[in-house]
Amino acid sequence: MRIVLMGPPGAGKGTQAVKVAESLQVPHISTGEIFRANLAAGTPLGLEAKRYMEAGEYVPDEVTNSMVAARLAEDDAANGFILDGYPRTLAQVDELDRILAGLGMQLDSVVEITADTEEVVARLLNRAKEQGRADDTEEVIRRRMDVYAEQTAPLVAVYTEKGLLRKVDGMGTMDEVTQRLLAALGH
Ligand code: AMP
């Protein structure tokens, strides 16, 4: 199964992606996590991504696209994957199609986890307290929500048009949402 998981910051995308990937036995590929790992390791990619991440802005497409192309070409992605946090721009949608076509693959589904804005801001502020992520201050959280609305929300229409989009309600307990996701994916 080749799946893209979308949803606003704080909708539980990362947590759910891990669970769904476990159930379907495919790798969980999170661009945010790859950036954070590079940042922690002090690689050139991490240094390049840092200022964007800290401001709640998207890392430029050229940087993000080549990183994703390299990751999807790895052996473990051959039998499927859950992409978490990519694509996030219309240009990335086209790039993902190109990357997958080059690998002789195509997407099976795009799942959008929907969530109430105030609820997700509250969740993110809570996560900031627990994990101390640098991009979880209220100002940056609001910026990330705006960037999502401006640049990523339009992808919903594109994937609906392609006949790939499924919506899943992200409100409720973690297990309830996982069950809904698996059901939406036919499991
Ligand atoms: P996430 O963990 O998915 O919330 O991502 C954290 C941050 O990494 C985002 O706020 C962006 O700065 C950056 N990032 C992750 N995925 C992408 C992407 N597909 N395009 C551009 N920037 C990204």
pLDDT tens profile 114-126 = 998 888 888 888 8
The pLDDT of residue 133 is above 80:
no
Does 65 contact ligand 1 (Cβ within 6 A)?
no
Helix or strand holding residue 83 (H, E): strand 81-84
The pLDDT of residue 168 is above 90:
yes
With contact defined as beta carbons under 8 Å apart, do 12 and 30 qualify?
Answer: no
With contact defined as beta carbons under 8 Å apart, do 146 and 128 qualify?
Answer: no
Q: Taking residues 3-20, what's their average pLDDT?
A: 94
**Is 123 noted as a catalytic residue in this protein?**
no
* Annotated active-site residue in 36, 88, 123, 180: 88
With contact defined as beta carbons under 8 Å apart, do 2 and 105 qualify?
Answer: yes
pLDDT tens per residue across span 56-65: 999 999 999 9
Alpha helices in the chain (DSSP H): 13-24, 31-41, 44-55, 61-72, 90-102, 117-131, 138-147, 154-161, 174-184
Its pTM stands at 0.92
Closest CA to 134 of 63, 41, 49, 55: 55
* Annotated active-site residue in 19, 71, 144, 180: 144
Does 9 contact ligand 1 (Cβ within 6 A)?
yes
Q: Which atom from ligand 1 is nearest to the alpha carbon of 30?
A: 3
Substitution candidate for ligand 1 out of 35, 99, 142 with most atoms within 8 A of CB: 35
